[in-house]
A and B are shown apart, each in its own frame.
Chain A
Amino acid sequence: MSTTIEPTVRVETTRRQPMPPRERLEAIFQVDGLDAIYSGKTAVKGVSMEIYKNLVTAIIGPSGCGKSTYIRCFNRMNDLIPGFTQTGTIHYHGQDICGSNIDPVAVRRNIGMVFQRPNPFPKSIQDNVAWGLKVLGMKDNLDERVERALTRAALWDEVKDRLKASALSLSGGQQQRLCIARAIAVEPDVVLMDEPASALDPIATQAIEQLMHDLKSEYTFVIVTHNMQQAARVADMTAFFSISQGEEGSRWGELIEYDATEKIFTAPSDKKTEDYVTGRFG
């Protein structure tokens, strides 16, 4: 097949700085041969990739390809699921975080997470951000830290007059930005985002994409999305996952292609990626 690809997704190159060459990038995660298994059923198989510091990495793919399962491996969130096991390694700054000798709490302390549905604590707006800071002993300049986190999450102006109001009184988009403020307030190294905009309207989505763009000089973002436009807008690197089928009807998610976002969307090397980004599949 040598047809030219007509991308349905326009990659915005104006907002993004050109990517430095790959060898100059610092890998923050090194994933090797990762398999994720739920009670004997393989969800993700044989993933090996590097995730680079201070970039936004998007994970795209059709529903059921294990994107969410995969991103939750990075902060051991799957530990909570009974029957979950994984093999292979994820080295974070050179240390394997999958080992049983690693404290998952310490992993999550450095690798924060924003979830698919906004999940603010049933506390005040201020306490949503301040509680984590207090528990983690970051009590100095508490109000200042709260304000800074809310400002960075582009929420401060909307809530500064009602910090004592319940977080549950906010709209969905505001709640999600509050969750982002809460995640970055504790100064993690990496922020994982599991379809953070799937339940949000376009304006709230845009606010979240903008803040990822603004904050990536300080954090490393990994974002799962099934919205290709979103990946094209925010991500420097994009990993495409797809579903593979084995004999006897077994299905698992697999990494098909991982490259610079422009490359994935304009000149993918794999046929499956091409079908997906051109909208022929998925």
Chain B
Amino acid sequence: MEGLAWLAAAIAIAFLVLIVWSVARKGASELNLDLLTKGPAVTFLSTAKVGLANAFAGTIVIVGLAIAMALPVGILVAVYLNEFAPASIRNGVSLALDVLNGVPAIVIGIFVYGLFVLGHGQSGLAGSFALACLMLPLVARSTMEVLALVPNSLREAGLGLGIPQWRTTLSIVLPQTIGGIVTGTVLAVARVAGETAPLLFTSSIVGTQTSWNPRHALQSIPVAIFELSESPDPADHARAWAAALVLILFILFASLGGRWLATRSRTRMLSR
């Protein structure tokens, strides 16, 4: 039994290693500073198909805005459900969050397409909103989990002093959960940063210009990978692999950074 479990764990890790290794092998040759800092060549006939700066800038903007939208709402939802809502509402909304979490990304994409893109055109903002819809249940659920771990005695301590519940929640309960919220957010970012389907509908018809303006459609790494992989030019395929490698590395470092932040906030909280 233990051997089987060990084997399963080994298989899981083997897949990860295999994916990272194959992406690294195919993408490393094209991975250079130009890829990150320069935009794609302007003319079709140009041989110098330099970089994907537009995609990296776009992903940073789209994901950043998605965090800005999903994080406060997700935390507030979790705080309401865990600290204030009666059990019936908590169960109902938790179920709704789980269902939202299970909605396929492409359905979210169509939804946002109908909501914002029709009549207004694509934009980075619409893409952000689609990703935020995907992030919201993840952030809310992970925040709820860490809130549930905060001992009730701390809430009672605050209330017993005659301090309003919202103040106790804000100053005593929530700080306990920062590590968990950061971890949950990083995992949510890692999950949505690679989402392609919602962005195809909302932010994919783009030029080669590097833009930071979310009111226009922005290129993004996953959409760039998708488009490059459909190109007849083998050089484009190599750049798709390189972009994939960057995406994987970004997610890897985001996860490690999130964990580091989580540990740091926890030790600081305990030593203070």
Contact = CB atoms under 8 A, between A and B. Distances in A.
A117 B153 contact: yes
A135 B87 contact: no
A273 to B, nearest CB: 30
A186 B161 contact: yes
A82 B86 contact: yes
Given A119-B151, A121-B172, A135 B167 contact: yes
Nearest to B160: A113
A124 B272 contact: yes
B11 interface: no
Contact of A115 (B156, B171, B172): B156
Given A82-B87, A131-B171, A135-B167, A119 B162 contact: no
Nearest to B172: A121
A105 B163 contact: yes
A182 B167 CA distance: 17
Interface string A107-125: 1111011110101111110
Decide if the interface of chain B is mainly helix, strand, loop or mixed: helix
B157 interface: yes
A115 B270 contact: no
B174 to A, nearest CB: 12
Given A82-B86, A119-B151, A122-B272, A135 B156 contact: no
B43 interface: no
B20 interface: no
Contact of A122 (B155, B156, B163, B176): B176
B266 to A, nearest CB: 10
B167 A122 contact: no
A77 B160 contact: yes
A134 to B, nearest CB: 9
B269 interface: yes
Contacts of B46: none
B156 A112 contact: no
B156 A166 contact: no
Interface string A71-100: 000010100101000000000000000000
B162 A121 contact: no
A183 B163 CA distance: 12
Contact of A108 (B151, B160, B167): B160
A203 interface: no
B171 A135 contact: yes
B270 A119 contact: no
A166 B269 CA distance: 8
- Chain A, interface residues (CB within 8 Å), range: 20 to 34
B102 interface: no
Contacts of B167: 135
Contacts of A113: 156, 160
Contacts of B47: none
Given A122-B176, A123-B272, A179 B162 contact: no
A166 B271 contact: yes
Contacts of A105: 159, 162-165
Contacts of A80: 155-156, 159
Contacts of A183: 160-161
A109 B162 contact: yes
Contact of A119 (B87, B153, B164, B272): B153
A106 B270 contact: no
B252 interface: no
B162 A110 contact: yes
A113 B86 CA distance: 25
Given A109-B162, A132-B163, A135-B163, A115 B157 contact: yes
A132 B161 CA distance: 7
Contacts of A131: 171
A188 B158 CA distance: 14
A108 B171 contact: no
A112 B156 CA distance: 11
Given A80-B156, A135-B167, A122 B270 contact: yes
A72 B159 CA distance: 12
Contact of B160 (A115, A117, A135, A136): A115
A112 B161 contact: yes
A168 B176 CA distance: 14
B154 interface: yes
Contacts of B165: 105
Interface string A57-82: 00000000000000000010100101
Given A82-B86, A119-B153, 14 more contacts: A80-B159, A105-B162, A105-B164, A108-B161, A108-B162, A110-B162, A112-B161, A117-B153, A120-B157, A122-B175, A122-B269, A132-B161, A132-B163, A188-B162
30 contacts: A75-B160, A80-B155, A80-B156, A80-B159, A105-B165, A108-B159, A108-B160, A108-B161, A110-B162, A112-B161, A113-B160, A115-B156, A115-B160, A119-B153, A119-B154, A119-B156, A119-B157, A121-B154, A121-B158, A122-B269, A122-B270, A123-B272, A124-B272, A132-B161, A132-B163, A135-B161, A135-B167, A135-B171, A136-B162, A183-B160
Interface of B: 86-87, 151, 153-165, 167, 171-172, 175-176, 269-272
